[in-house]
Amino acid sequence: MIYFDHSATTQVAPEVLDAMLPFLKDQYGNPSSIYALASRSRGAVEDARRELASYIGADPREVIFTGCGSESDNHAIKGTAWALRDKGRHIITSAVEHHAVLDACHALERDGYEVTVIPVDQDCMVDAAQVAAAIRNDTILVSIMHANNEVGSVQPVAEIGKICKERGVVFHTDAVQSLGKVPVNVNDLNVDLLTVSGHKVHAPKGVGALYMRRGTKLRKLIDGGGQELNRRAGTENVAGIVGFGEAVKLLKEHGEAEVAHTRRLRDRIIEGVLGTVPHTVLTGHPEKRLPNLASFCIHYIEGEGILLSLDMWGICASSGSACTSGSLDPSHVLLAMGFSHAVAHGSLRLSLGRGNTDEEVDTLLQVLPTMVERLRAMSPLWSDAVKRGEV
Ligand code: PLP
């Protein structure tokens, strides 16, 4: 099997599994209890918190663990909106956010908040000046993602954060895809709130974290016990949190080498695909993009057809994001970038990880051109294009 879908999720690293196992076996104490067994769980959770906090330039008391990236996004957005409702009810976000952000904003709209959605250009980039122009006296929150999950464009988050700071508006960024791929430092990025998720960096699924700058007013999303610095109730997922901490430790040790490795493979894929598959465009910014992500629109073809054909070769890839694939709607990201429905349907995302090899890239580049040719031979989109003299 060739796994080119690391933006959807990653395999749990062996070191991560080893670190977790004791907490699924003998070390099962509840971190809130007071005996020695429990304090070992407490200690492990706090070690993981320190590990993650130091990696993103935060104080450990500014980091809470959550159940996933989606929860962190919801907490940041709804928590801020609820806490600041007397100050204002206007929120700014972008058209290409993950649904965890967009749908949280839509939910608030139904409760009387107003949301301004900033468009993107054809490279999926948000213009910081447009964000600045959209800020009003009643704006309480700006949420713009760090890196896009479908096309990999990296947004000018530091610049947007600086504007928000000057205008006194809380700034949240979703850094789920950028963690470990491009530097994520909460001070350099000028953010008040930042979302990350474990399963994108070789930790298990079901653990995320939210950075909250000291002094940022936020209501709780989950009420109950006093866990997670009294900001997120619920007995901690100790093993998951320990795994996340270990995964971050691995990023500190090997992250740079991994980025160089995936960037080289990514560039081979981009060059190879554009060079051998006619009528194909790279999606996302050509330079300001994640080092592990190659994404394309292959004209006159259905993305799903490519995925199924790749699967027959044992190659895992995706078309649009994992959460929306399965639905027939074309990606909201590609539509926001100005692609037509027909072209957006032909999207292909290949996202790389530490385990991928040159041989795997060779295989992809060998099989893809013929695969596309065969699919086009059966595609009405292609025969129509031939009739129109387009191809
Ligand atoms: N934000 C982005 C940009 C993502 O890519 C994802 C997952 O694909 C999420 C949020 C959601 O993270 P989780 O799967 O941990 O809920």
What would the mean pLDDT of 62-74 be, rounded to a whole number? 98
Check residue 329 and give its pLDDT: 80
CA distances to 200, 328, 361 from 176, rounded to whole Å, are 7, 25, 25
As a whole number, mean pLDDT of residues 217-225 equals: 97
Specify burial of residue 199 (Cβ count, 10 A radius: 0-12, 13-18, 19+). Answer: buried
One domain, residues 322 and 241:
no
Average pLDDT of the residues in 277-294? 98
| pLDDT over 90 at 386, yes or no | yes
Q: Is the confidence at residue 56, as pLDDT, over 70? A: yes
Q: Does the pLDDT value for residue 326 go beyond 70?
A: no
Is residue 322 predicted with pLDDT exceeding 50? no
Statement to judge: residues 244 and 263 lie in one domain: no
For residue 386, is it within any domain? no
Query: 87-126, pLDDT tens digit by residue?
Result: 999 999 999 999 999 999 999 999 999 999 999 999 999 9
What mean pLDDT, rounded, does the chain reach? 97
At 163, which CATH number?
A: 3.40.640.10
In a domain, 3, yes or no: no
Domain housing 116: 12-251
Shared domain for 198 and 278, answered yes or no, is no
Identify whether 68 is a catalytic site residue: no
- Ligand 1 site residues, Cβ closer than 6 angstroms: 68-70, 73, 98, 100, 145, 149, 174, 176-177, 197, 199, 208, 321
| Rounded alpha-carbon distances, angstroms, from residue 260 to 175, 228, 263, 276 | 20, 35, 5, 24
Residue 303 backbone zone (phi > 0: left; psi -120 to 50: alpha; other: beta): alpha
Answer yes or no: pTM beyond 0.75: yes
The secondary structure of 298-361 as a DSSP string is: ETTS-HHHHHHHHHHTTEE-BSS-TTTBTB-SPPHHHHHTT--HHHHTTEEEEE--TT--HHHH
- Residues of the chain above pLDDT 70, percent: 98
Mean pLDDT of 206-211: 98
pLDDT band at 323 (very low <50, low <70, confident <90, very high): very low
Instruction: Let me know if residue 385 belongs to a domain.
Output: no
In terms of residues, how long is the chain?
391
Closest C-alpha to ligand 1, atom 13: 69
CA–centroid distance, residue 212 to ligand 1 (Å): 18
Q: How many structural domains are present in the chain? A: 2
Domain termination site, one of 251, 286, 309: 251
Do 107 and 133 form a contact (C-beta atoms < 8 A)? no
| Ligand 1 centroid distance, CA of 9 (Å) | 9
Residues 78 and 126 in one domain: yes
Residue 2, domain member (yes or no): no
Instruction: Grade residue 69 by pLDDT with cuts at 50, 70 and 90.
Output: very high
pLDDT of residue 242 exceeding 50, the answer is yes
The atom of ligand 1 lying closest to the CA of 208 is: 15
What CATH number does the domain containing 280 carry?
3.90.1150.10
In this prediction, residue 304 carries a pLDDT of: 92
